[in-house]
Each structure stands twice: as C-alpha cells, then as structure tokens.
C-alpha cells in the first residue's frame, strides 16, 4: 500500500468520524433544560456568581450562600430544601 492510498484511507476515516459526531450533536442538544438556582450550593461547589471578592465557579465561601448559584434541572430549584431554606431563582440574602 503506498503513502497516498494510506493518507486517503485515513482522511476518509477522519471524515466519517467527524460526520458521525455532527450527526449526534442534535441529540446532545436535547438535554434537560437547566436554570440557575441560588442558595443551594455547598461552599466551593457553586457554578458561578458568588458576590464581591469572588471570581466565579467554586468560589463560594460558605454553604448555601445566597448570591452563589448552581445549575439544576429547570423547574426544580424552588423545591430544593436546604438547612437554610429553599432554593431561589434570584440571589437572596443569607
């Protein structure tokens, strides 16, 4: 087998794998819709927004911090109970 033929086969294999990945993308896009839920993250486990003096994900300084959020399946946030109260769709004082 010569080099050109090997390169052509490798190119076809790569093209096929890229096409398969693109075909799978729409299914991946149909994942569960998520929403930001404030006041439910443990210290250092937030996805983002943790108030002044913090940068973002993983920077909350205390459990259930009211200005730190975590992504949760849509419609479940306000049902999540913590020792400090329920989750909120908006930042809360805690």
Domain match, 10 and 49 both: no
Q: What is the pLDDT of residues 11-25, one digit of tens each?
A: 545 455 545 554 454
- Residue 88 and residue 51 share a domain: yes
Same domain, 25 and 37: no
Domain extent at residue 27: 1-31
Instruction: Clarify whether residues 70 and 81 are in a common domain.
Output: yes
pTM, 2 dp = 0.62
In whole angstroms, give the CA distance from residue 54 to residue 41.
Answer: 15
Residue in 69, 73, 62 with CA at minimum distance from that of residue 89: 69
Q: Are the C-beta atoms of residues 92 and 82 closer than 8 Å to each other?
A: no
Q: Does 1 lie in the same domain as 21?
A: yes
Shared domain check, 6 and 40? no
**What's the structural domain count of the chain?**
2
Q: pLDDT tens, 43-74? A: 999 998 666 655 678 888 899 999 999 999 99
Handedness of CA 57, 62, 67, 69 (dihedral sign): positive
């Amino acid at each position: 087998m010569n080099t050109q033929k090997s390169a052509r086969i490798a190119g076809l294999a790569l093209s096929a794998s890229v096409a398969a990945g693109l075909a799978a993308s729409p299914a991946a896009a149909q994942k569960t819709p998520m929403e930001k839920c404030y006041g439910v993250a443990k210290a250092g486990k937030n996805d983002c927004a943790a108030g002044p003096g913090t940068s973002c994900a993983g920077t909350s300084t205390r459990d259930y911090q009211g200005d730190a959020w975590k992504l949760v399946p849509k419609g479940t946030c306000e049902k999540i109970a913590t020792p400090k109260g329920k989750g909120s769709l908006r930042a809360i004082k805690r």
